[in-house]
Amino acid sequence: MSETLTGSPARNYVGGEWRDSASGDTYEKRNPWRPSEVTGVYPSSDADDASAAIDAAREAFPSWAALPAGQRAAFFGKAANVLEARAEQIAQDMTAEMGKPLRESRLEALRAATILRYAAGEAWRPVGEMYAPSVANQRLYTLRRPLGAVGLITPWNFPIAIPVWKLAPALIYGNTVVLKLGYEAPRTGLHVAESFAEAGLPAGVLNVLTGSGSKAGAELVRNPGTRAISFTGSVAVGQGVREAATARDCRVQLELGGHNPLIVMADAELDRAVEASFAGAFWSAGQKCTATRRILVQDEVYDEFRDRLLARVAAGKVGDPADPEVEVGPVVHEAAMDEILGAIERARGEGGTVLAGGERADDDGYLIAPTVFEGLADDAELSCEEVFGPVTSLYCFATLDEAMERANAVRFGLSASIFTRDLYAVQRFSEEIGAGIIHVNSQTAGADVHVPFGGVKGSGWGPHEQGRAAIEFYTELVTVYQDAPLA
């Protein structure tokens, strides 16, 4: 089966078969660290491919939904074993095609297997609740039923974790899936298709397409055959997805951007706060919606914190993402690099001072040196808009009230951290910070597989993902009044 990945071009997985795109069009993917290297050639799927995949998913739905959940779970166990056995290959492919440092790619590849194992356990958890009846001889209960064929549109920045954390709950509750992979990381996602194919998943239950969102992705959103759309990506695209899906009464879930603050109180363990700030801002070259975009430091420790953070930035290894010691690699492509460098220039123009980085750091790779600003106003672009790269800014505050108010003064609300030993500050923070994912003494990024993940305010729409929360989106809740026959 693995020739679909090593062969060129690779193929889509539709109706249990490996297929070229209907048009025969393909696209080339290049390595962002060494752009002359082509990492693979993939189908440029369009509306025809998406609609064929939706047909396959709809056809497979009745028998998949009718299968006892424990039998559905058995495929998850097998697919998890395949993913785990090839985790190193997946990590290498991920690093080569989208530039995530290998040390992080390895963890993400293994995380995919863990997500499947967690989701398999859902087969043995309740899918409804029994209530006391209001009349004699009645059973009164709720039931969670699968929706049908669902469309999943996933980004390149977590090219295996996000596809798996969407498809696992979708499938375990009895839906069938069409998954459109992030354009910049197709090979990583095709490993998931291969793992389920090797596990013997029935044809059409999982269909996987490569190509652009504006073609194949848009068809998933438009086609009346999909009953729900789960999307992770940019705010602009997500808002369009929501409009198109809700216009046809299709359920929709969005995971969008963030502008995540990390607050350092004067009583914080400063070295831990520095470590978390570095990791949150610069791992994956800052290309996480949970990355630390703003670091707010209490005035008494501001200078000390800044010095220690700059020392940590200077010590971090930057460069070839395939080197397991490298912490900061390239950004995903040239256009992203130009956009980030443009935002850095504008921030300088707005009066920001660059304390570290601020420029391209390799002639060939799309590498931007980890960049730290200070002196930016709260309404500067970098203080409120998401710039998807290794750029963060320092701000000085006097009181917890001030820090909270400034931290909350953005339209996003994905994740937030506070570093302190003060229980009062922790309680205030967990009750008042405008974020869906709240960290105390840990970095803003990260998502455990068994707890809900999602933002508030402009960072998301619809029920949260992961953990037991995922059942909300991937099932419909019905209430059954079941009165017994009179005789």
Catalytic residues: 255, 289
Residue number with CB closer to ligand UN1 (227 or 439):
439
Are 300 and 270 in contact by the 8 Å Cβ rule? The answer is: no
CB of 422 to ligand UN1, least distance (A): 26
Stretch that binds ligand UN1, among 150-158, 244-252, 391-399, 423-431 (CB under 6 A): 150-158
Q: Which is nearer to ligand UN1, 14 or 447 (CB)?
A: 447
Number of Cβ atoms within 10 Å of the Cβ of 311: 10
Site for ligand UN1 in 382-411 (CB under 6 A): none
Q: Using CA atoms, how far apart are residues 208 and 428, in angstroms rounded to an integer? A: 44
Q: Is the peptide bond before 9 cis (omega within 30 degrees of 0)?
A: yes
Residue 63 CA: distances (Å) to CA of 67, 70, 71, 201:
6, 14, 12, 12
Q: How far is the CB of 267 from ligand UN1 (least distance, A)?
A: 27
| Residue 155 vs 174, nearer CB to ligand UN1 | 155
**Residue type at 3?**
E
Please give the full DSSP string across 83-125, using - where no structure is assigned: HHHTHHHHHHHHHHHH---HHHHHHHHHHHHHHHHHHHHGGGS
Q: Which residues are within 8 A (CB) of 326 and not within 5 positions of it... i.e. 6 or more apart?
A: 101, 102, 103, 317, 318, 319, 320
Q: Which of residues 232 and 420 has its CB atom nearest to ligand UN1 in the complex?
A: 232
List the strands of the sheet with 251-255, edge to edge: 17-19, 12-14, 206-209, 176-180, 149-153, 228-232, 251-255, 460-461
Q: Nearer to ligand UN1 by C-beta: 9 or 155? A: 155
Radius of gyration of the chain, Cα coordinates, nearest whole angstrom: 23
- CA separation, residue 115 to residues 109, 121, 122, 189 (Å): 10, 10, 11, 15
Nearer to ligand UN1, 155 or 330 (CB): 155
Q: How far is the CB of 290 from ligand UN1 (least distance, A)?
A: 4
Q: In the window 228-247, what residues touch ligand UN1 (CB under 6 A)? A: 232
Considering only 49-57, 200-208, 223-231, 284-292, which stretch makes contact with ligand UN1 by CB under 6 A? 284-292
CA distance 407 to 421: 19
By CB under 6 A, the residues from 45 to 84 that bind ligand UN1 are: none
Residue 458 C-beta: closest distance to ligand UN1, Å: 14
Least distance from C-beta 158 to ligand UN1, angstroms? 5
Q: Report the sign of the C-alpha dihedral through residues 297, 299, 305, 309, in that order.
A: positive
Least CB distance from residue 223 to ligand UN1, whole Å? 25
For ligand UN1, which is the closer residue by CB, 112 or 289?
Answer: 289
What's the maximum distance between 2 C-alpha atoms anywhere in the chain?
Answer: 84
Residues 430/383, Cβ–Cβ less than 8 Å: no
Kindly state whether residue 158 participates in binding ligand UN1, applying the rule CB under 6 A: yes
Q: What are phi and psi of 214, to 5 degrees?
A: -70, -20
Q: Which stretch binds ligand UN1 (CB under 6 A): 140-148, 155-163, 189-197, 378-386?
A: 155-163
Residues in the interface with ligand UN1 (CB under 6 A) total 11
Q: Does 289 bind ligand UN1 (CB under 6 A)?
A: yes
| Amino acid identity for residue 251 in this structure | R
Residue-by-residue DSSP string for 327-369: SB---S-HHHHHHHHHHHHHHHHTT-EEEE--SB--SSS--B-
Q: Is residue 336 at the binding interface for ligand UN1, with CB under 6 A as the rule?
A: no
Spatial CB neighbours of 249, under 8 Å, sequence gap ≥ 6: none
Q: Which stretch binds ligand UN1 (CB under 6 A): 27-35, 128-136, 154-162, 379-387?
A: 154-162
Q: Does 475 bind ligand UN1 (CB under 6 A)?
A: no
In the complex with ligand UN1, which residue's Cβ is closer, 21 or 95?
95
Min CB(286)–ligand UN1 separation in Å: 10
Q: How far is the CB of 153 from ligand UN1 (least distance, A)?
A: 12
Site for ligand UN1 in 425-464 (CB under 6 A): 445-447
Handedness of CA 239, 245, 247, 251 (dihedral sign): negative
Among 255, 320, 327, 386, binds ligand UN1 (CB under 6 A): 255
Q: Does 154 bind ligand UN1 (CB under 6 A)?
A: no
What does DSSP assign to residue 215?
A: I
In which residue are the tokens 């189908």 written?
Answer: 43
Q: Which is nearer to ligand UN1, 39 or 415 (CB)?
A: 415
Residue from the set 32, 40, 151, 155 that interacts with ligand UN1 by CB under 6 A: 155
Cα–Cα nearest to 192, from 73, 52, 86: 86
Q: State the nearest-atom distance from the C-beta of 234 to ligand UN1, in Å.
A: 10
- How many helices (H) and strands (E) the chain has is answered by 16, 20
State the burial class of residue 482 (Cβ atoms within 10 Å of its Cβ: 0-12, 13-18, 19+). Answer: exposed
Question: Considering only residues 12, 45, 92, 157, which one is a binding residue for ligand UN1 as defined by CB under 6 A?
Answer: 157
Give residues in contact with ligand UN1 (CB under 6 A). Answer: 155, 157-158, 232, 255, 288-290, 445-447
